[in-house]
Every structure is written in C-alpha cells, then in structure tokens.
C-alpha cells in the first residue's frame, strides 16, 4: 500500500500535523542546531522538538526539526546519507591532476577520527564517501559537492585531504540533503511569518511547511493492520500473522511502518517467532 503524504499534508487538522510532523528548516550560520530546534519549539508552544542530524554553528542548510511525537521517529529517519556543498581552501599551489588524484583516494570507505570538539566518543570509525565532485575552482579555492554516509565529518575530511596536498581547510559548508529532506527548505524568517499568520487564524503557510510524520513510510516497508486488531495493538500488543492484511515478507530484525488505512499505528520490528510477526518499537497513540 502507498501513503499519500501530500494529501495528508493538505487534509490533516493542523493540530495533528503539529503533534506529528517535521519542518525542514534552512539553518543559518551562527546558532547551534539545538538552538534552532528550541526556537521552533518555543514559537509553536510545543512540548518537545528535536533536530535530525547536527550541523556545526557555522554550517548552513537542511536541518529537519521533528515536532512533538515525531521526535520518536528520529532513530528511523536520521541515519541516512547526507549531501553537502562547500568551499575548500588549499594552502599550496596544487595542480588539478594532483587534486583529483588525492580526492580519488578518499572515495569509498575511509577511517575517521572525530574532531576533538565533537560530542561523540573519539574513536576511529569507518565512514563511506559516496561521491566528491569539484564544481568549480578559482586558484586555491575549490567549490565541491559531496555525498557521504551519515556521521561523516566534512571538516575533518577536508583536513585529511589537505595533509596530502600541503594543507587545506574548509571555508564554507552547506547541507543540501539529509535523507528524505532536501532543498528548498524554510528559513527562520519564512517560519516566523507562517507562525504569525497561524496565530491570527490562518494555518495555510504553516501547513505547507509541515511534513507529516507518516513520511517514514517512504523509507520502510508498509504493512496494513486489520481494523479489528487496532485497539489491541495500540495497547502495545505484538502483531500476529492474523492481524495483517496480506503477507509479511520481512526478515528478522527488519523494520516496518504499520498502518490501518492512512492511520499510522507505529514502527515495528520483525521477529517471526511462531504466530508473532512483529513487536512494537514505537506505538503512536
């Protein structure tokens, strides 16, 4: 079954969108990702918000902010490829052929040690650099575009390339894609205007900004729950074979988004133990 996200965005009551939605904010340079998330929370008077993937204060671009119950989807939405556009400044004169030679060495799986000021444990870890493309070059300034595995530090990547090029550092960086969320995104001025209009009784601008949390269905298999099973399942019961319309072909530990019609029930993990097909990870009630 397919879930019509655009239709849900248009027809769901605005209160429901605010309870279970995501706004794709265009983060400006300066504030932290946490500060932007908190700003959205205060402006909309929400209990909770969270951002899907931290950007350094100086970095701009795509910063999805989940609203209220949609914060529970963070683990299912965050760990996706990211795309960035930035400017690398070389410290020495480097030929195009030498630059491309070094870039090629960093494609594929690399080992990174997170920066000293990062919030994660400083231990080497593998990350995949999917693409690294030079868009334009003017002397020592190189405009690039790269697609990487989530959790890759672009500033560290540029520094490590620079060690083989006589030095390099990152001048500017912008995230253009974070999993399902891509440009164009909404800057804080757009957001403020939408909130102001909403408080005066018109939800049209704010509604256009909020992506229904049901968008998780675009990343995971969707299973249809029988209507007669909904009440029991919403109480936290596992899902049995008899509860599902059609067949479940999920492998053990694979995740699925469970719906009845277009009503989101929750995220489930396959166990395939006898008659028990799925157990709940997040039940939406």
Q: Which domains does the chain have, with CATH numbers?
A: 5-78+181-216 (3.30.70), 82-170 (3.30.70.3190), 220-283 (2.30.130.10)
Report pLDDT for 119. 62
Report pLDDT for 247. 78
pLDDT band at 117 (very low <50, low <70, confident <90, very high): low
Report pLDDT for 118. 63
Tell me the pLDDT tens digit for each residue of 60-78.
Answer: 999 999 999 999 999 999 8
Res. 105: pLDDT tops 90: yes
Res. 115: pLDDT tops 80: no
Distance, CA of 211 to CA of 9 (rounded, Å): 7
Report pLDDT for 33. 96
Res. 1: pLDDT tops 70: no
List the Cα angle 218/49/21 in 5-degree steps.
35
Distance, CA of 82 to CA of 63 (rounded, Å): 11
Active site residue 190: no
The predicted model gives 185-213 an average pLDDT of: 97
Q: Which of 157, 154, 175 is nearest to 28 (CA)?
A: 175
Catalytic member of 56, 68, 160, 243? 56
Hey, which residues does 282 pair with through a beta bridge?
267
Tell me the pLDDT tens digit for each residue of 232-250.
Answer: 999 999 999 999 998 788 9
pTM score: 0.92
Tell me the pLDDT tens digit for each residue of 148-178.
Answer: 999 999 999 999 999 999 999 999 999 999 9
């Amino acid at each position: 079954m397919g879930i019509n996200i655009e239709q849900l965005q248009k027809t769901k009551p605005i209160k429901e969108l605010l309870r279970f939605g995501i706004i794709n904010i265009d983060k400006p340079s300066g504030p932290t990702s946490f500060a932007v998330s908190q700003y959205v929370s205060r402006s909309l008077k929400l209990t909770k918000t969270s951002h899907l993937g931290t950007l350094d204060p100086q970095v701009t671009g795509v910063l999805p902010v989940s609203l209220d119950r949609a914060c529970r989807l963070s683990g299912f939405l965050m760990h996706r490829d990211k795309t960035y556009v930035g400017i690398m400044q070389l410290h020495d004169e480097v030929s195009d052929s030498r630059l491309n030679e070094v870039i090629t060495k960093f494609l594929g799986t690399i080992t990174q040690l997170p920066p000293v000021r990062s919030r994660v444990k400083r231990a080497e870890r593998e990350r995949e650099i999917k693409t690294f493309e030079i868009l334009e070059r003017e002397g020592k300034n190189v405009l690039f575009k790269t697609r990487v595995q989530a959790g890759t530090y672009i500033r560290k990547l540029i520094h490590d390339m620079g060690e083989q090029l006589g030095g390099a550092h990152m001048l500017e960086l912008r995230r253009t894609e974070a999993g399902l969320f891509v440009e164009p995104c909404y800057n804080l001025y757009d957001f403020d205007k939408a909130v102001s209009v909403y408080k005066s009784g018109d939800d049209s601008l704010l509604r256009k900004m909020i992506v229904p949390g049901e968008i998780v269905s675009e990343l995971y298999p969707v299973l249809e729950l029988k209507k007669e099973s909904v009440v029991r399942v919403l109480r936290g019961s596992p899902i049995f074979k008899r509860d599902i319309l059609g067949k479940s072909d999920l492998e053990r530990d694979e995740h699925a988004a469970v719906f009845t019609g277009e009503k989101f029930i929750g995220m489930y993990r396959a166990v395939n133990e006898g008659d028990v097909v799925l157990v709940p990870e997040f039940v939406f009630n």
